[in-house]
Amino acid sequence: MTQKLIDPFQRAITYLRLSVTDRCDFRCVYCMSENMTFLPKKELLSLEELDRLCSSFIGLGVEKLRITGGEPLVRRGIMTFFDGMSRHLETGALKELTLTTNGSQLERFADDLFAAGVRRVNISLDTLNEAKFAEVTRWGRLPQVLRGVEAALKAGLRVKINAVALKEFNEDELFDLTEWCAKLDMDLTFIEVMPMGDIGNENRIGQYWALDDLRARLAEQYTLTDLAERTGGPARYMRLEETGQKIGLITPLTHNFCESCNRVRVTCTGEIYTCLGQEGKSDLRAPLRASESNQLLEEAIHAAIGLKPKGHDFDYSRQELGGQMSRHMSHTGG
């Protein structure tokens, strides 16, 4: 038996988040600057290398695989990769294959994703106002994303909407977003904005809106029941009794969730980050390319997990961006 991945703090690593590209067809103000420099294509792992990498992780006990980016669905040939991963779903080694997407390409790919075994998808959408959507994503267009949401639902995918909570931007849409999701039977998760990357000085949107405040406002209109359910990550869930829908709050800055962390992130160049809030990383591309067998790669994965830190350092409490990360969210995929 291949040895499973257990970190120094006895946490089993069963969840891999893989970024398949650093490119994107949007330029969300909290994520990217207007003029991003992207990696030369040769730096990226090929589709075959991504397959080998994921297959190795699955062999070592990873049961959940989330594909992210950049925008994963703009990576050329990405459906070949999804189709390849479905063999691990068929054997039962992989329990869930999923992705986080801005939704722009879902109209095209939703049916193919379902056919590859994807059953749930997270779609990022911060506002239902067309002008505000164009402002926050810079290059995105709301109708295209709404068609993507519709296509996903029609294909049979369960949809969760992820909205970044932005003060003075989508505060006034809290109930509209909630009700829209309830109507379409979609779950909804709010994410606290995180200090990631240099996104330029022009950024006026992107102010921190504490989710405790958001929760208090929801409680004025709805009956909220906290759910015990945890996913090993920074999300807490509650049920809105009036609509029956599940609302998630991702608060990596104000709540400590590190004890139960079950995940690692790998970038599109094969760097493994074992903690979202720490700079520590190891290279998996060199061992991947060094030999056709996966032995060196698996040793490198074990070595990296052996260095997984206990927790992260984000801290807003001192009125400065304590623990600010220099890398962009699109680099590690959030």
**Sign of the CA dihedral with 85 first, then 115, 163, and 139 last:** positive
125 binds ligand SF4 (CB under 6 A): no
Q: In what order do the strands lie in the sheet with 64-68?
A: 224-227, 235-240, 246-250, 187-192, 158-165, 120-124, 96-101, 64-68, 15-19, 263-266, 271-273, 281-283
71 binds ligand SAM (CB under 6 A): yes
- Residue count at the site for ligand SAM (CB under 6 A)? 20
Helix/strand/coil percentages in the chain, nearest 5: 35, 20, 45
For position 69 contacting ligand SF4 by CB under 6 A, the verdict is yes
Does 193 contact ligand SAM by CB under 6 A?
A: yes
Q: How far is the CB of 52 from ligand SAM (least distance, A)?
A: 23
Pick between residue 89 and residue 199 the one whose CB is nearest to ligand SF4. Answer: 199
193 contacts which partner out of ligand SAM, ligand SF4, none, CB within 5 to 8 A by kind?
ligand SAM
Say whether residue 55 binds ligand SF4 (CB under 6 A).
no
81 vs 91: CA distance, rounded Å? 17
Among 70, 117, 148, 234, binds ligand SF4 (CB under 6 A): 70
Per CB under 6 A, 24 contacts ligand SF4: yes
With beta carbons less than 8 A apart as the criterion, state whether 282 and 304 touch. Answer: yes
CA distances from 248 to 52, 178, 214, 260, 264 (A): 33, 11, 11, 17, 21
Nearer to ligand SF4 by C-beta: 20 or 113?
20
The answer to whether residue 211 forms part of the interface with ligand SAM (CB under 6 A) is no
Fill in the amino acid letter for 81: F
The reply on whether position 102 binds ligand SAM by CB under 6 A is yes
Binding part of the chain for ligand SF4, among 43-51, 69-77, 262-270, 291-299 by CB under 6 A, reads 69-77
Minimum distance from CB of 303 to ligand SF4 (Å)? Answer: 29
Residue 227 parent element (H or E): strand 224-227
CB 198, min distance to ligand SAM, A: 11
Q: How far apart are CA 126 and CA 193, in angstroms?
A: 12
Name the one range near ligand SF4 by CB under 6 A: 24-32, 56-64, 275-283, 287-295: 24-32
- Of residues 26 and 133, the one with the C-beta less far from ligand SF4: 26
Minimum CB–partner distance for residue 114 and ligand SF4 (Å): 22
Say which amino acid occupies 243: T
Q: Is residue 332 at the binding interface for ligand SF4, with CB under 6 A as the rule? A: no
Ordered alpha helix ranges (H), 116-224? 130-137, 142-155, 174-183, 211-221
Phi, psi of 232 (to 5 degrees): 80, 5
The yes or no reply on residue 248 touching ligand SAM (CB under 6 A) is no
Helix axes 130-137, 142-155, angle to 10 degrees: 100
Query: How many residues does this entry show for the chain?
Result: 334
- CA-CA distances (angstroms) from residue 187 to 57, 142, 146, 259? 29, 19, 15, 25
Residue selected from 7, 71, 187, 192 as contacting ligand SF4 according to rule CB under 6 A: 71
Q: In angstroms, what is the minimal distance from the CB of 38 to ligand SAM?
A: 14
Determine the interface stretch with ligand SF4 among 27-35, 75-83, 246-254, 263-271 (rule: CB under 6 A). 27-35
Binding residues (CB under 6 A) for ligand SAM: these are 24, 30-31, 68-69, 71, 100-102, 124, 162, 164, 191, 193-194, 196, 329-330, 333-334
Binding residues (CB under 6 A) for ligand SF4: these are 24, 26-28, 31-32, 69-71, 102, 124, 329-330
